[in-house]
Amino acid sequence: MEEFKTYVLKEPIGVVGLITPWNYPLLMATWKVAPALAAGCTAVLKPSELASLTCLELGAICEEVGLPSGVLNIITGLGPDAGAPIASHPHVDKIAFTGSTATGKTIMTAAAQMVKPVSLELGGKSPLVIFDDVADIDKAVEWAMFGCFFNSGQVCSATSRLLLHEKIAERFLDRLVEWAKNIKISDPLEEGCRLGSVISKGQYEKIKKFISTARSEGATILHGGDRPKHLGKGFFIEPTIITDVSTSMQIWREEVFGPVICVKVFKTESEAVELANDTHYGLAGGVISDDLERCERIAKVIHSGIVWINCSQPTLVQAPWGGNKRSGFGRELGEW
């Protein structure tokens, strides 16, 4: 009917609370701060208490370039003291959170009391499926390592469940162990370092407990699992490869957030998909095969927000980022 006109007005949502983790402290902050400011919102940023300095530096830079006072506010402190009041505050209009699933549930509960929208980017236990038609085994081994050992495994999207076709499993694992032995573990400021320490004593102890539980449940620590012999202090853990894993084990089901990969072998494509989707999480996944039709087919049936084909972890800012199931909802990056 021509006498009527309708249009959509896009408006800033208001004050947004941005709660970020310690694993990529500045990057995670910019993923949230930049779109919030670009949309015309004001923001309250609460970085992790384990890694606040770069976010404070970001605040200083914003002040230096003339961002008006009060547009970006940075509050440091512990979750219960600094994060929780942001989530429950009646004048904060939206929460964007990246962190653990347990904390995400707490934030969602607090926000629900005011029917406040949230976007949550939570934990993951992502699969990397590798088929027997891969011609370049070493390239696939490199992606498997990068997918789980990068940033000392402290990556929400780490492909920490490695699924190998039975025809290549033995050869693949031999190469994976060989490569893992050659990773230079050292002070990150040292030339050639490829694996640094984990964030804290608490995280170090947690990872060690995951490894000891896997061993006690009957899994095999094929490589690693200990402090590197040449490093007497610091929270360093060798890249760890765990085999003989059953789907009921803790190491298969729970996010470790450390340089620990667990391995299962499959026979058929349908079995691979079933194992890949055998998780409460749904952040990411990957498939490596020389058959691109198979890759597309597998990518469509893995239940996750992100699927990598013939790689693991490249993150392009033009594409949306986020998961489903217990990995959260909402998207970052891109138009989203």
Catalytic residue among 2, 121, 191, 217: 121
Asked whether residue 335 is domain-assigned, the answer is no
Note whether 228 and 273 are same-domain residues.
Answer: yes
Note whether 113 and 180 are same-domain residues.
Answer: no
At 1 the pLDDT is 87
At 28 the pLDDT is 97
Across 119-145, b (16+ Cβ under 10 Å) vs e yields: bbbbbbbbbbbbbeebeeeeebbbbbb
Put simply, whether the predicted model's pTM sits higher than 0.85 gets the answer: yes
Asked whether residue 56 is domain-assigned, the answer is yes
Cα-trace Rg, the chain = 21
Note whether 158 and 280 are same-domain residues.
Answer: yes
Q: Which among 121, 151, 170 is the end of a domain?
A: 121
Per-run averaged pLDDT (10 residues), the chain, 336 residues: 94 98 97 97 98 97 96 97 96 97 96 96 97 97 98 97 98 98 95 96 98 98 97 96 98 98 98 98 98 98 98 96 97 94
* Residue 238 is a catalytic residue: no
Q: Which among 100, 121, 142 is the end of a domain?
A: 121
Note whether 244 and 261 are same-domain residues.
Answer: yes
Burial of residue 240, with CB atoms counted within 10 A of its CB: 0-12 exposed, 13-18 middle, 19 or more buried = buried
Domain extent for 49: 15-121
How many CB atoms are closer than 10 A to CB 259? 29
Nearest alpha carbon to residue 162 among 89, 66, 87, 260? 260
Q: Which two tokens stand for residue 189?
A: 């400021």
Nearest alpha carbon to residue 25 among 98, 127, 125? 98
Please state the domain count of the chain. Answer: 2
Q: Which among 72, 95, 121 is the end of a domain?
A: 121
Note whether 252 and 236 are same-domain residues.
Answer: yes
Note whether 158 and 89 are same-domain residues.
Answer: no
Beta partners for residue 264, in sequence order: 163
User: What is each CA distance from 142 to 3, 146, 158, 309, in whole angstroms?
Assistant: 63, 6, 14, 14
Q: Characterize the bridge pairing of strands 15-19 and 94-98.
A: parallel
